[in-house]
């Protein structure tokens, strides 16, 4: 079975984790159409590892290239330029796909040829070794993406022409770039399919990740991404989505408060409360997330009775 999916893997200083990811790709029961490995100016041996691994792969074409502009978005865009298949899967260099992952998505693409975005829930292993399911759902896709990041990188494949038509990855964003791209994809297409079955990807939280483990270290990243998403909704005349962006800002403010950055938290809360027509409900969203830090998406749905 020939797959219509190319895998793009951006890599930056992952010599201690990269082999695990590459081995999981090599073990796929169905090979992808192509594998594109993009070194993002690593200072370790990652690039050499990629070249050595590529020489051993005979099941499909492997392209190794370099992007000197720093950032995962720039590296993914470099890889996207090498894609000539109908669908593309962006995969991170510290995670693992189970042997049937490409086969399952290949079968789904063939069974549902009219779909533009196909996704599945994944399993995440946290820094303390616990595992939790991170969801993909085709129901109310925009709402669920805004609150649950359903189109986070590892959860879906997408029609290559759709990614290109919306402008690909925004290289100005240092964080939540997949969140922002997901919004643009969903504004452009509602043809979303959810694969059944157990998760076929395991992601691993890393202290040395691009975004780190702290929200307060770089608040401009998250707030900038939310501001950009708001501008997309306004441009698309989707004012119905603006309350959800304010709700996400309140959840971010709660995250600041949990990290004891009360100044950042109060500033963001005040910004929302000064602009919203629903200050009471926004405050309730803030306190729900502050004290419970889970299921705030469901609480928000109940508050706004949708």
Residues 268, 192 within the same domain: no
Residue 189 lies in a domain: yes
Residue bearing the bigger pLDDT, 209 or 83:
83
Q: Is residue 288 part of a domain?
A: yes
**Does 123 lie in the same domain as 22?**
yes
Q: How many residues make up the chain in this entry?
A: 306
Q: Within a domain: residue 23?
A: yes
- pTM for the structure as a whole: 0.95
Is the pLDDT higher at 209 or at 175? 175
Across the chain, mean pLDDT equals: 95
**Percent above pLDDT 70 for the chain:** 97
- Inform me whether the pLDDT recorded for 208 exceeds 60: no
Q: Phi and psi dihedrals of 259, rounded to 5?
A: -90, 10
Q: Label residues 139-165 b or e (16+ Cβ within 10 Å = b).
A: eebbbbbbbebbbbbbbbbbbbebbee
CA 216 to chain centroid:
20
pLDDT at residue 306 above 70?
no
* Pair 98, 233 in one domain: no
Q: In terms of domains, do 246 and 190 share one?
A: no
Q: Is residue 273 part of a domain?
A: yes
> What average pLDDT score do residues 143-157 get?
96
Among residues 204, 238, 271, which one ends one of the domains?
204
Residues 191 and 266 in one domain: no
**Burial degree of 84 (CB within 10 A; 0-12, 13-18, 19+):** exposed
- Mean pLDDT (whole number) for 244-250: 98
Check whether residue 180 and residue 45 sit in a common domain. Answer: yes
What pLDDT is attached to residue 211?
A: 47
The pLDDT of 232-238, averaged and rounded, is: 98
Residue 15 has pLDDT above 60, yes or no: yes
- What is the per-residue pLDDT across 19-57, written as a single tens digit (0 to 9) for each? 999 999 999 999 999 999 999 999 999 999 999 999 999
Give me the domain span that covers residue 278: 219-303
Distance of CA 115 to the CA centre of its chain: 19
Check whether residue 66 and residue 185 sit in a common domain: yes
Q: Indicate whether 33 and 177 sit together in one domain.
A: yes
Residue 161 shares a structural domain with residue 224:
no
Same domain for 196 and 255, yes or no, is no
Domain final residue, candidates 170, 204, 238: 204
For residue 211, is it within any domain? no
In a domain, 195, yes or no: yes
Check whether residue 187 and residue 298 sit in a common domain.
no
In the structure encoding, which two tokens stand for residue 141, read together?
């896709």
Same domain, 181 and 226: no
Q: What is the CATH number of the domain that holds 183?
A: 3.90.550.10
With respect to residue 191, please indicate whether it lies within any of the assigned structural domains: yes
Q: How many domains does the chain have?
A: 2
pLDDT tens by residue, 254-274: 999 999 999 999 999 999 999
Mean pLDDT of 74-98: 97
Last residue of a domain, one of 155, 171, 204: 204
Query: So what's the pLDDT on residue 23?
Result: 97
């Amino acid at each position: 079975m020939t797959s219509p999916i190319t895998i793009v893997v951006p890599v930056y200083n992952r010599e201690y984790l990269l082999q695990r990811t590459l081995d999981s790709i090599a073990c796929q029961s169905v090979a992808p159409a192509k594998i594109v490995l993009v070194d993002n100016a690593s200072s370790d041996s990652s690039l050499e590892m990629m070249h050595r691994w590529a020489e051993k792969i005979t099941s499909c074409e492997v392209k190794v290239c370099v992007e000197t502009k720093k950032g995962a978005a720039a590296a993914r865009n470099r890889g996207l330029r090498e894609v000539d298949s109908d669908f593309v899967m962006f995969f991170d260099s510290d995670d693992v796909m189970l042997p049937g992952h490409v086969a399952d998505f290949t079968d789904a693409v063939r069974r549902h040829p009219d779909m533009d975005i196909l996704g599945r829930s994944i399993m995440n292993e946290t820094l303390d070794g616990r595992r939790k399911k991170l969801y993909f759902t085709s129901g109310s896709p925009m709402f669920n993406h805004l609150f649950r990041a359903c189109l986070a990188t590892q959860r879906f494949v997408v029609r290559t022409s759709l990614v290109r038509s919306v402008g690909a990855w925004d290289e100005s964003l240092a964080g939540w770039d997949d969140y922002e791209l997901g919004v643009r994809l969903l504004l452009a297409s509602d043809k979303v399919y959810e694969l059944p079955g157990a998760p076929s990807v395991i992601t691993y939280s890393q202290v040395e990740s691009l975004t780190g483990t702290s929200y307060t270290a770089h608040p401009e990243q998250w707030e900038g991404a939310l501001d950009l998403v708001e501008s997309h909704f306004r441009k698309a005349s989707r004012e119905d989505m603006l309350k959800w962006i304010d709700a996400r800002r309140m959840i971010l403010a709660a995250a600041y408060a949990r990290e004891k950055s009360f100044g950042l938290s109060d500033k963001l809360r005040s910004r929302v409360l000064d602009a919203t027509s629903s200050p009471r409900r926004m405050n309730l969203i803030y306190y729900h997330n502050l004290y419970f830090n889970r299921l705030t998406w469901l609480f928000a749905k109940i508050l706004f009775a949708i």
